Each structure stands twice: as structure tokens, then as C-alpha cells.
Amino acid sequence: MSQNSKSGDLPLLFQPITIKSVTARNRIVVPPLCQYSAKDGIANDWHLVHYGGYARGGAGTIFVEATGVEARGRITHGCLGIWTDEQAQALVPVVNIMKQHGAVPGIQIAHAGRKASSQRPWHGLSAMNAADAARGEVPWEVVGPSALPADEGWLVPKQLSEDEISDIVTAFGQAAARSQAAGFEALEIHGAHGYLLQSFLSPLSNKRNDSYGGDLAGRMRLALEVTKEVRKHWPDDKPLFFRVSSVDGSADGWQLEDSIALAKELKALGVDCIDCSSGGNAASATVNLIPRGLGFQVPYAAAIKKETGIMSMAVGLILDGPQAEAILQAGDADLIAVGREIMYNPFWAVQAAQDLGIDEGFEMWPEQYGWWLEKRERTFARMGHKR
């Protein structure tokens, strides 16, 4: 793939961006998208085709889905893991195919905490039960800051001791080291959506009265210890992202001011970009519902960037190139993540280029396709047919 004009002539969305020593060809990011298709945490052909497809479709950076730092930390039996060398090794072809097609390969490392041991969405999206066990997928003990379930009918987590917390911090560091060894060039810590780190951050789920709970500093302690440990094992010259739930969406929950305070601390620890999501502290999507509309989380990315000076990534209902470009032009974010739209159309990135008036000659497409598609366009023009 090539870009046929100088960066300055390109829409911002298609200008390359360099973070530390890593340059992405554009500002389009595929955010982590769980596939629930691994066995024993090990990637397979599905992952190769899935991630390779987004790279071939022109995305700049691609984050492999939430990948468990320990077995208990997977959301479902189908989630990827990176707590063994074998699991990391299975991700090497996935890394390579993303690189071959010009994308920066990233990975999100995660611990699902009290929302672990869940069903895949298509099996019910609730805590696993006897029906799952009958299929051979046995529930496991889940852990969290306090013995409070994520929702009615969900497993009651075991409250983690300080020693157990320390083991999890170590596991995040080891996962970062394995990610580096597998060839990933960007790393994201999952600090959102009610999974372990966010469940410590939020006063809705963290009722501890030791040094990992109580005030904001106590609740942030685990996220900051994990970040410090990850930075130790992740090269200084490679970008580190942290995904936040910018708000819980509840008056007595985590607020945007808390995210800003956290982002300042993360920046000081060497985090390069805050990925600004929201919600998820309770398992049910109907609890703490944040009203959704086009780009509904963009104001969080804008506020965190403005208040802290750190790079931010906008995500959530960003549907097309012009909408993405307007967010960048307004200075509201540095990167644009596109999830479900890119699942719907893995060629979203190169089509966004055309929607923004560049690449009419299909030069950003893989040459195997571009040559034909350019002729198809000329045929359409002769026919007077509009796409």
C-alpha cells in the first residue's frame, strides 16, 4: 500500500502519527474486540484472518482483544491469554500478518476480575451456569476488590488479599514482557468496563478500607502499580495505552474528574495515550446506562486531552471518515478507534479515504484489489451508475 501525496495534503485521519519510536500510517485504530474463539487462551486461524483482515483493510494500528494475564482473568473460556509462552508464541503469526499488511500490531492485556467466568455473548452474556458446565465449560472462582457481584445472579468474587494483588501486578508485568517478545509494538492496559482494574477504581465496586480502597488515591493504587510494573517490562520507546471508563454513568460512581486525575498520574508513569471509553461497572448494560449517540464518548477524550496534555483516543459510534476527521480537526482526540463499523466493513479505512476525497485511484488498497476496483469505478462512470 502507498499513500500518493505528501502528509500535509492529506486529511488528518490519514496523516501518519508517531508515538515514541513507532509510526502508524494513519490515525485509524481497531480497538480491542473480543472474539471468544480461543481454546485454552491460544490464538488460532480465526484470529489470523480476523486481525489480518483489518490490516489488509488499511487500519493504522490494531489492538488484539482483551488478553488475560492469568487464567482467572479471562472473561470467557474463549478469551485469549498470555500467561504462558505457548500462548504468546501462538500470537506471533497474528503479529506478523498485521505487520506484513502495514499495520502497527498492538495488544490489550487484561484481567476480568469479578466479570470473569462469563458466558460468550451468544450463550447468554451472564455468569456461567450448569448448562455451560454440561457443554464442558466449567465456571471458576472470580476475584475482585470486595465480595460484591457485578450484578444480580453473577458470581460473588473472592476479595483479594494484598499478597494476591501483588501476584496480579506481577502477572501484568510478565504479560507485557511476553507481548514484547511476541513482536507487538503497542500495548494497552485494560482499565475499563468493570474488569479488575476498573472495579478497584470505582467506588461502586471497591468497598475496601485498606490501602487499595477508600479515597481516590487508594482506589487508583492498583492501576498505578500495574502501570509501573508494565512499564518496567515494556520498552521505553514503545507506546503504552491505558483504556479508562471515563465515567461510570452513575452519580455515586467514578466521574470524569477522577479520570483526569488518573490520567495525570498515568502520564507521569510513562503512559502515552488514554483510550477513552465509559461504563460497564455493572454487568448488565441496562444499569448505569450512559445515553448513546454519535461519538458520545468524544467529549471525554477531549476533556482528558485538554486537562492533562496527554494524547487521547476517541471511540464509540464513530461511523465514517468525515465524522472521524471532524473529531481530529477539532483537536478533541489524536486517534480514532472504530469497532463495530470495522467489523461490518474491514475495508472501512480505505473507504474512509475515498469519502474524504483522497485515493480515487485505489492506491491505498492492496494492489490485488485496487487495480480491478479502479477499473470497476471507470465502468460505473461510463454507465452513469453512482455507488
Q: Are 185 and 29 in contact (CB under 8 A)?
A: no
- Would you state the cell numbers that stand for residue 130, as one nine-digit string? 450448569
CA distance 33 to 278: 15
Q: Which of 98, 168, 260, 338 binds ligand FMN (CB under 6 A)?
A: 338
Q: Are 259 and 312 in contact (CB under 8 A)?
A: no
Q: Which of 114, 243, 267, 305 binds ligand FMN (CB under 6 A)?
A: 243
Q: Least distance (Å) from ligand FMN to the CB of residue 294?
A: 10
- 291: left (phi > 0), else alpha (psi -120 to 50), else beta? beta
Which one of the spans 27-35, 214-222, 226-234, 371-379 is the region binding ligand FMN (CB under 6 A)?
A: 27-35
| Nearest C-alpha neighbor of 190 from the set 245, 120, 254, 229 | 245
For residue 290, CA distances in Å to 80, 166, 200, 281, 333 come to: 28, 33, 20, 12, 20
For residue 64, CA distances in Å to 11, 82, 107, 308 come to: 26, 12, 4, 27
Which one of the spans 18-26, 30-38, 87-95, 347-355 is the region binding ligand FMN (CB under 6 A)?
A: 30-38
Query: Which listed residue (51, 54, 195, 300) is catalytic?
Result: 195
Residue closer to ligand FMN by CB (options 24, 276) is 276
**Residues 79-118 interacting with ligand FMN (rule: CB under 6 A):** 108
CA distance 237 to 227: 15
- Is 66 a binder of ligand FMN (CB under 6 A)? yes
- Is 31 a binder of ligand FMN (CB under 6 A)? yes
- Is 32 a binder of ligand FMN (CB under 6 A)? yes
Residue closer to ligand FMN by CB (options 3, 244) is 244
- Is 327 a binder of ligand FMN (CB under 6 A)? no
Cβ-proximal residue to ligand FMN, closest one: 339
- Using CB under 6 A as the binding criterion, the count of chain residues that bind ligand FMN stands at 20
Residue at 94: amino acid letter: V
Tell me the helix, strand and coil percentages in the chain, rounded to 5.
40, 15, 45
What b/e sequence results for 250-285 when a residue is b if at least 16 CB atoms lie within 10 Å of its CB, and e otherwise? beebbbbebbbbbbebbbebbbbbbbbbbbbbbbee
Q: Which of 135, 207, 232, 340 binds ligand FMN (CB under 6 A)?
A: 340
Answer yes or no: 36 catalytic.
no
Apex 188 CA angle, 185 and 194, nearest 5: 165
Q: Are 65 and 80 in contact (CB under 8 A)?
A: yes
Q: Least distance (Å) from ligand FMN to the CB of residue 217?
A: 25
Q: Which of 28, 116, 247, 315 binds ligand FMN (CB under 6 A)?
A: 315
Residue closer to ligand FMN by CB (options 22, 317) is 317
CA distance 215 to 133: 39
Helix (H) or strand (E) holding 144: strand 143-144
Q: Least distance (Å) from ligand FMN to the CB of residue 79?
A: 8
Residue closer to ligand FMN by CB (options 34, 197) is 34
| Nearest C-alpha neighbor of 178 from the set 3, 25, 43 | 43
Which one of the spans 13-21, 38-46, 313-321, 362-370 is the region binding ligand FMN (CB under 6 A)?
A: 313-321
- Would you state the cell numbers that stand for residue 363, as one nine-digit string? 492506491
Which one of the spans 16-24, 250-258, 335-343, 345-353 is the region binding ligand FMN (CB under 6 A)?
A: 335-343
Q: Which of 339, 345, 369, 371 binds ligand FMN (CB under 6 A)?
A: 339
Q: Which of 173, 316, 321, 370 binds ligand FMN (CB under 6 A)?
A: 316
- Is 276 a binder of ligand FMN (CB under 6 A)? no
Give the residue numbers annotated as catalytic, written as ranges: 195
Q: Where along the sequence are the contacts to ligand FMN (CB under 6 A)?
A: 31-34, 65-66, 108, 190, 192-193, 243, 277, 315-318, 338-341
